[in-house]
Structure 1
């Protein structure tokens, strides 16, 4: 194990006992990133010189025994959509005017308060509206497991960076699966907490911020920092006193629903079905009761959300001049134009389907304590594709398992549960009741302990 393979807790212990300094750690990581980045293009505004300065300052604090917080000296990336003061937020698109952000978004502010080394932003597709590494602004981001394949999205760069070992912690955003979907396709752990648990600015229906990491422990460790409330998020939850590292759980007697059909969208591939069924047996062996459950999503719900989201994005881009609007990735631009002719009544009807999703999810959780499902319905797809269908008329056929839990505001995670015959990771989604973020983290950690987690990560290509 190299220094850069340590968990956050192990690294912090090394900082405290002075067997490793934040600067030494960063320099080792900088070399590692240099070996990977030309192949996967995960980063935006990567600034190793600024990272060295931050690491030096952290080293001085640790030498005096005065770290700012639990993440002092820990290298972290933030998804490009999460504002950092003085830097532009292009939202993955050439259409955006590049203006420096006036302030750090809540996640960035909390990380700085605790002394984290923010060394880069990570890539995303136009307006975060694709599950892909394809963007009109950023270089094409690729999957470290196979660079001909897509990392998913919209937290594309964050997932690629985590899988490639660019440090222990990467922060993404998720409005329909954008943390969990790429986590599933890259083999990492992605956690979408209860809505408002990690404040977001701007906040929106279903929009969450969440940690992405190779290990459950590192994601859980970050939550004490990230979950501090922020007035800028009107849905921000009250302060919590959780011990985020209390990850032990006895699953005996827990009733867990196994959902193998999303209700609509792409069919689940056989390799994924087998891997998820096998994962469920681990919980059953440990004493949980596994029951088959029906989908919570319907075609009407997904189509209604499609209608609403088209209108929402068209409202954002309708006033752009022709040159700017034409610079948007055609897949997204063509999709958004469909919102131009939708009436206000139909847009509201589309929005109302988010309420139907919430009701459907709530009904299911009167019968079960947690839900297991595939994260993604398919194993992989080409890096150059805009989505798993690559068809703007069918843009959301892959989010059937993930998007309902955004609208119901429930915590959900993706964790690796095996590999396909082609060597690509397969994700297991674990969903818990609203506000019970600890249950999802504990069930995830139990599964990781039972299986041993991912034992061998991709290595930088030899150039």
Structure 2
């Protein structure tokens, strides 16, 4: 595993804020070091759709002045942040990763962006995604291929592909992605990150949709919690948002004990790809860490069916088919060929079938809540497989197997329950393996607390040493 450096770009957000408060480091220092990492690594990683270091430097200088006065704007003042390209930033085109789309140029920023800016976060730019966010990889007809900082021959996962590459590669500590079936947690498992798909409505959106959530990708639970405390502040534009909850101090100074918690261990999704043996062993080992600390761990039988997974995939295909058919013939040809085939496979599906698919999704929601309600937490794989080739659109390459890899993640999007990822091991050839930790609806704090505890108690062999270059490898810094 690569060795992680002690440079500013490798520090967590909580470490950066402490350094700003003590005067040991300034937001400009941090930005300049992050900029040096970006300059060195971005040509191969390809994480950004829009990178604006000039604006970031202006924001960092303003933050530096606030810290000098002892008046930070918020809990992440001066911390470098990225946001996924489908989270609106005023004046920045939003092509949804798709070369066939005429990008929308928003006149107002999304709630997530406004909350970050209000808190003094230094936004570096917008990170990439695959076409319409409907691939679990970093392959895009517009952006090309986004690659893993661990091994550039491997995928980042998706659809929060750029956010994942930025988080693991040292482009600052805080990154916001979106997730409708696993798009935050899949980069999490394939890049070793700590991530959270929050409870439905926890983080306000300006375009809420069934199963969709925005949430943090980070290198620690404490950073994920810090970012959640900022972006979960309410916004009237989201008619599905939860009542305000004070998440300012999400986690206590020391990790909470898991003794006495009832924990389900979910190793069979009931559908999709079979579980790779190395993933199975790593998740079982993680569950044993909880059991040895006094948690009551028991096997949770599968509750999702192949039919539910098929119907969810079909529903999404029809949704994207409508977007595809709205394009001109010439624009359709610019859409990624895989996505063209994926949507055209359902061109003969009628409205009655779509309504049956929707009813199936509601049945999945009910099944997920019913099966998991007895447990304080459920532990499972994030995905049944480990990282695959960077230029594959899906874990099996270019063929059409629907959504065979999201049997563990998608149920929690439909049920609205919080679900996190945290690294729990490595394969023999060094690929990361993610543990999914899910909880009851609205218990985002409980989930993050459990992940924080696990980070403190997992074996060293499961703890990432981040692939962030040593400062001496880069030859200077530039902002």
Q: TM-score per shorter chain, which class?
A: over 0.9
**What CA deviation, in whole Å up to 9, does each residue of 1:365-410 have, x standing for no partner?**
2332211001111112111100002245213111110000000000
Paired position in structure 2 for 1:319: 326
**What CA deviation, in whole Å up to 9, does each residue of 1:191-233 have, x standing for no partner?**
0110010011211000000100011110101112110111111
Paired position in structure 1 for 2:463: 454
Counterpart CA distance in 1 for 2:323 and 2:298 is 43
Counterpart CA distance in 2 for 1:391 and 1:309 is 18
Q: Would you say the 8 A contact 1:158–1:212 is kept in 2?
A: yes
Q: Match for 1:111 among 96, 116, 129?
A: 116
Give the 5 Å matches for 1:326-405.
326-405=333-412
Paired position in structure 1 for 2:291: 284
Paired position in structure 1 for 2:28: 23
Paired position in structure 2 for 1:224: 229
Q: CA RMSD in A?
A: 1.5
Offset at 1:99? 3.6
Q: Match for 1:262 among 265, 269, 279?
A: 269
Offset at 1:3? 2.0
Counterpart CA distance in 2 for 1:124 and 1:460 is 24
**What CA deviation, in whole Å up to 9, does each residue of 1:5-26 have, x standing for no partner?**
2222221122122221111111
Offset at 1:73? 0.7
Offset at 1:81? 0.9
Give the 5 Å matches for 1:53-92.
53-92=58-97
Q: Match for 1:211 among 216, 239, 249?
A: 216
Higher relative contact order (CA 8 A, sep 6+): 2
Counterpart CA distance in 2 for 1:45 and 1:70 is 25
Offset at 1:255? 1.3
Counterpart CA distance in 2 for 1:415 and 1:359 is 26
Paired position in structure 1 for 2:3: none
Counterpart CA distance in 1 for 2:19 and 2:261 is 38
**What CA deviation, in whole Å up to 9, does each residue of 1:310-333 have, x standing for no partner?**
111111221211011111101111
Bigger mean CA offset, 401-410 vs 329-338: 329-338
Secondary structure at 1:121's aligned position in 2? strand
Bigger mean CA offset, 231-240 vs 445-454: 445-454
Counterpart CA distance in 2 for 1:366 and 1:454 is 30
Counterpart CA distance in 2 for 1:366 and 1:113 is 36
Paired position in structure 2 for 1:149: 154
Offset at 1:126? 0.2
List gaps (5 residues or longer) in structure 2.
1-5, 475-479
Offset at 1:460? 4.0
Paired position in structure 2 for 1:445: 452
Secondary structure at 1:190's aligned position in 2? strand
Paired position in structure 2 for 1:309: 316
Counterpart CA distance in 2 for 1:264 and 1:186 is 24
Bigger mean CA offset, 215-224 vs 452-461: 452-461
Q: Would you say the 8 A contact 2:251–2:445 is kept in 1?
A: no
Secondary structure at 2:379's aligned position in 1? strand
Counterpart CA distance in 2 for 1:395 and 1:159 is 23
Secondary structure at 1:45's aligned position in 2? strand
**What CA deviation, in whole Å up to 9, does each residue of 1:152-199 have, x standing for no partner?**
100011111111111110000000000001110000111011001001
Give the 5 Å matches for 1:154-193.
154-193=159-198
Bigger mean CA offset, 279-288 vs 58-67: 58-67
Counterpart CA distance in 1 for 2:21 and 2:260 is 41
Offset at 1:455? 4.4
Offset at 1:297? 1.1
Secondary structure at 1:111's aligned position in 2? helix
Counterpart CA distance in 2 for 1:259 and 1:297 is 11
TM-score with structure 2 setting the length: 0.94
Bigger mean CA offset, 254-263 vs 383-392: 383-392
List gaps (5 residues or longer) in structure 1.
none
Paired position in structure 2 for 1:40: 45
Q: Would you say the 8 A contact 2:192–2:464 is kept in 1?
A: no
**What CA deviation, in whole Å up to 9, does each residue of 1:69-111 have, x standing for no partner?**
1111110000111110000001000111134211111100100
Bigger mean CA offset, 62-71 vs 89-98: 62-71
Counterpart CA distance in 1 for 2:149 and 2:326 is 38
Q: Would you say the 8 A contact 1:125–1:153 is kept in 2?
A: yes
Q: Would you say the 8 A contact 1:334–1:392 is kept in 2?
A: no
Counterpart CA distance in 2 for 1:373 and 1:9 is 28
Q: Would you say the 8 A contact 2:255–2:456 is kept in 1?
A: no
Secondary structure at 2:74's aligned position in 1? coil
Paired position in structure 2 for 1:139: 144
Paired position in structure 1 for 2:281: 274
TM-score with structure 1 setting the length: 0.97
Secondary structure at 2:145's aligned position in 1? coil
Paired position in structure 2 for 1:200: 205
